Amino acid sequence: MKLIDNPYLIEEIITLITLVTYFISKALTVKIVRRFAKSNEVLEHRANLVIKYINLLIGMLALFTIIIAWGVKKDQILLFISSVFAVVGVASFAQWSILSNITAGIVLFFSYPFKIGDKIRIHDKDFPIEAEIEDIKAFYILLKSNEGELITFPNNLLMQKGISIVNEPIERSEFTD
């Protein structure tokens, strides 16, 4: 006779371990990102966006682990995942830039090449921009030009263009005194 007569004991233990790991990972993520944000003087709402996206990824991994632990066959999981990706892929093909903007926003958060209040120059041959950074969002960056124009610039393009941080406005003159 078995000491414990529970046919799902292993699955329950794996689920419990996964949930404990999930909550510990969430707490550590919050702590690490907030510490990074504080040490690099990043605004709190930017840190909250990064925390939200990382927690979403951790949650999906935990859910996937629990599904596997409860014995869903690998063929069924792969069929389900491929079906979901096919539907999502077709539905959001035009929205690819949204995912790349979110990813670029997270990369910009951790690489931290500039901060709000910095004056930058974006080197684009068709549309060069020199402006001050007003805010950095998940999808785009808000810039304010010298003329007071408010410009939204996608994060993924910000990663592709050359950028200079300008401390003072550059005055060009043909004549020197």
* Contact (Cβ atoms closer than 8 angstroms) between residue 109 and residue 147: no
Host H or E run for residue 129: strand 129-136
In whole angstroms, give the CA distance from residue 36 to residue 61: 24
| pLDDT tens-place string over residues 96-153 | 667 777 778 778 777 767 778 889 888 888 888 889 988 887 778 889 988 888 988 8
| Model pTM above 0.85 | no
Question: Over the stretch 154-171, which tens digit does the pLDDT of each residue have?
Answer: 888 888 888 888 875 445
Alpha-carbon gap, residue 135 to 143, rounded angstroms:
7
CA distance 93 to 83: 15
- Domain annotation for the chain: domains and CATH numbers: 9-91 (no CATH), 114-166 (2.30.30.520)
